[in-house]
């Protein structure tokens, strides 16, 4: 069973990278995870899961999505058991680019628990984050949808209040604030404000050296988390 640890970094190339380009970044992130000890969730196209799993040792391989079906009928749906067997240890659910109905979100989180897959559920507001917290995923990404890809992070009051209200509903969930993250400084501010981790897509892929940006972000997250918790 995969374990969700803190602090963490999500390296999320979405479908901008695939095949060898995805593997190249995964190997760089794997080295960062080894050197720093931080948990790094690495997403990739589903067809690349096994390639990346077999060529890295320290990453938590994360699917971009998953469905709630069981083996059998369900043409074109994403089967949880198939993901698990391919090496997936975590999955995004309900991302703004692939939202689910409330009932399907709940059923998919339950399937994650059955198989020991870390459930990373997305919410686009404080209100939705509180509702999702009741469903008991491992991590909740509370990111205002209109900030995704803008290079502008949420203000401090949103971050502090969202984390506070999420944990009031479910103290066991790991809160994550994201959207608009582009620099190590953004990561530091977000984790210092109460998030257990953060991550991004364009902030890494558009950097002069994506591998270096992953390292900088990981180190910033660890620094902020240790300062916040006194560890």
pLDDT digits 0-9 by tens, 66-87 = 999 999 999 999 999 999 999 9
Active site residue 143: yes
Whole-number pLDDT of residue 126 = 87
Cα–Cα dist 92/52, whole Å: 17
DSSP 46: G
**Beta carbons within 8 Å of 12's beta carbon, 6+ residues apart:** 41, 43, 62, 92, 199, 200, 201
Active site residue 58: no
Whole-number pLDDT of residue 203 = 94
- Taking 60 as the threshold, does the pLDDT of residue 146 lie above it? no
The average confidence (pLDDT) of the chain is 93
Whole-number pLDDT of residue 152 = 56
Considering the candidates 81, 89, 143, 161, report the single residue annotated as catalytic.
Answer: 143
pLDDT digits 0-9 by tens, 100-141 = 999 999 999 999 999 999 999 999 888 999 999 999 999 999
Of 30-39, 132-141, 178-187, the least confident: 178-187
Strand partners, 141: 122, 176
- Taking 90 as the threshold, does the pLDDT of residue 24 lie above it? yes
Of 34-38, 158-162, 191-195, the least confident: 158-162
**Do 189 and 153 contact (CB within 8 A), yes or no?**
yes
Q: What is the CA radius of gyration of the chain?
A: 16
Average pLDDT, integer, range 30-36:
98
Confidence at 145, pLDDT banded by 50, 70, 90: low
Classified as helix, coil or strand, 11 is strand
> 222: which 2 tokens?
């660890």
Whole-number pLDDT of residue 209 = 98
**Beta carbons within 8 Å of 59's beta carbon, 6+ residues apart:** 26, 29, 30, 33, 40, 41, 42, 52
- The most confident of the ranges 15-29, 117-131, 145-159 is 15-29
Considering the candidates 54, 58, 95, 161, report the single residue annotated as catalytic.
Answer: 95
Q: What is the value of pTM for the model shown?
A: 0.94
- Taking 60 as the threshold, does the pLDDT of residue 150 lie above it? no
Whole-number pLDDT of residue 231 = 78
Whole-number pLDDT of residue 124 = 86
State which H helix or E strand residue 60 sits in.
strand 60-63
């Amino acid at each position: 069973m995969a374990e969700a640890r803190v602090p963490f970094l999500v390296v999320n190339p979405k479908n901008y990278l695939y095949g060898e380009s995805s593997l190249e970044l995964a190997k760089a992130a794997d080295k960062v995870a080894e050197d720093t000890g931080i948990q790094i969730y690495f997403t990739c196209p589903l067809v690349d899961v096994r390639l990346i799993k077999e060529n890295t040792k320290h990453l938590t391989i994360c699917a971009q999505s998953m469905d709630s079906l069981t083996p059998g009928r369900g043409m074109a749906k994403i089967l949880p058991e198939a993901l698990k067997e391919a090496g997936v240890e975590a999955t995004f659910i309900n991302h703004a680019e692939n939202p689910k109905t409330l009932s399907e979100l709940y059923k998919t989180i339950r399937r994650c628990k059955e198989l020991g897959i870390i459930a990373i559920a997305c919410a686009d507001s404080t209100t939705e984050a509180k509702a999702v917290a009741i469903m008991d995923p491992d991590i909740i990404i509370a990111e205002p949808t209109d900030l995704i890809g803008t290079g502008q992070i949420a203000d401090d009051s949103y971050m502090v209040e969202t984390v506070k209200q999420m944990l009031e509903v479910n103290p066991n969930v790991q809160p994550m604030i994201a959207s608009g993250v582009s620099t190590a400084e953004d990561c530091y501010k977000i984790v210092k404000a109460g998030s257990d981790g953060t991550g991004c897509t364009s902030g890494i892929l558009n950097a002069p050296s994506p591998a270096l940006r992953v390292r900088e972000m990981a180190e910033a997250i660890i620094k902020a988390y240790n300062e916040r918790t006194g560890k």
